[in-house]
Amino acid sequence: MSAKRGLDAQIILNAAAELAEEKGLENVSLSQVADRLGVKSPSLYNHLNGFQGLSTGLAKLAIARLESAVRNAAVGRSKSEAFMAIAVAYRKFAKENPELYKAILRYPNYSDSGVQEAGHAVVRILYQVMEPYHYSKENTIHFVRGFRSVLHGFVSLEEAGFFQGTDANVDKSYEHLVRRFLSTLTVKENP
């Protein structure tokens, strides 16, 4: 890429995301991103507010990509079929983008409203899938929190290597866990 021409925040963040997946999230610096883009580090400051801007931007990018994967998985499906498709897409995203997944896990610490809104977009999809069950708002929140915890817990343990060397197929274990959790859902007759 020629210096500065066509440089914007999205291009910078895409380059940072590539570097994160190659070198690890903690190892990405502004100077490495600038080198990747063929520009000087100060050029990045025209588009990002330093390293904090880079970190916040990576979180937004990661959440947006996860939201897209989850939304696409849910389209055309409903109830437990949609939840199962979401679970598969979630795990696939985390496995294919482990460093961006780490960036997502940092987002509750960000005060940036854009990061928070991006995170809420993922949760809103889960709330929409819950609508046919006619749960109260509180019970919907409890279920969605539990569902997210099931997915994150499994994905985190798998990423840490806790499921290696066992006789049981890991994919089947994940499916079994998610289906068991989903079996707790029942449609309320009188909403």
User: How far, in Å, CA of 176 to CA of 155, rounded?
Assistant: 14
Instruction: State which H helix or E strand residue 122 sits in.
Output: helix 113-130
Token pair in block for residue 159: 């990423």
Domain 1-48 has CATH 3.40.50.300: no
Per-residue confidence (pLDDT) for residue 1, from 0 to 100: 41
- Residue spans of the chain under pLDDT 70: 1-5, 107-115, 188-191
For the chain, domain boundaries: 1-48, 60-182
* Residues 79-98 pLDDT 10s: 999 999 999 999 999 999 99
Per-residue confidence (pLDDT) for residue 76, from 0 to 100: 95
Query: For helices 30-37 and 9-23, what crossing angle results, to 10°?
Result: 110
Per-residue confidence (pLDDT) for residue 2, from 0 to 100: 39
Of residues 152, 151, 170, 171, the one with CA closest to residue 162: 170
State the distance between the two ends of the chain, measured CA to CA, in whole angstroms.
Answer: 57
- Other CB atoms within 10 Å distance of the CB of residue 113: 8
Helix (H, G, I), strand (E, B) or coil at 158: helix
Query: What is the CATH topology of the domain spanning 60-182?
Result: Tetracycline Repressor; domain 2 (1.10.357)
